[in-house]
Amino acid sequence: MTIGRRIAVCPGTYDPVTYGHLDVIERASRLFDHVVVSVAEGSKKKQPLFTAEERKALLRQSVGHLENVEVVGFNCLLADHAREVGATAFVKGVRTAADFEYENQMTQFNRRLAEGIDTVLLPASPEWGFLSSSGVREAAAWGASVDGWVPPHVAEALRDRLGTGRTA
């Protein structure tokens, strides 16, 4: 019996990438042969602080140490994107019961749209359970240090973009 490569897609806006995101990506990299970190290039819901190219560049710098991880953009139905990259699973991080409810609903949609592609929900590690990109953006916009929540190059990019903030 020949077993194919297990490829996972970790989708998100990553605006900006946080240590919580990186924790999920690193854990996924141990579970799957190849992880495609898929950056949503378009959004009907939100206007990102960073462009898609900037978010991909920040992510590439953040995951460069993970040999089986690549960063790509997508601007289509997630199910279609997953089929395009040959994914066998979606990997999503969940922090709260509300996250679980939302992701469980999306899992059911994706099961209908992408038969044969399962969803793996990874609970947030305790130290990152509170962390969200929107919280990081808000804190940075008010000048707070976010150095402990995002990689140094991301904290610097936030300070440059917002013209605020201080280092720890």
- Of 21, 55, 56, 159, which residue is the catalytic one? 21
User: Active-site residue 95, yes or no?
Assistant: yes
User: Active-site residue 153, yes or no?
Assistant: no
Q: Specify whether the CB–CB gap between 18 and 132 falls below 8 A.
A: yes
Segment 39-75, tens digit of pLDDT:
999 766 778 999 999 999 999 999 999 999 999 999 9
Hey, what's the torsion of the CAs at 71, 9, 63, 29, to 10 degrees?
-150
Q: Specify whether the CB–CB gap between 10 and 24 falls below 8 A.
A: yes
88 has a pLDDT exceeding 80? yes
User: Domains (ranges, CATH) in the chain?
Assistant: 7-129 (3.40.50.620)
- Of 5, 6, 43, 46, which residue is the catalytic one? 46
Query: Which residues 6+ apart lie within 8 Å of 60 measured at CB?
Result: 71
Segment 128-150, tens digit of pLDDT:
999 999 999 999 999 999 999 99
Task: Kindly report the pTM of this predicted structure.
Answer: 0.92
- Of 34, 133, 137, 159, which residue is the catalytic one? 133
Scanning the structure block, which residue is given the tokens 């609903």? 105
- Of 95, 111, 153, 161, which residue is the catalytic one? 95
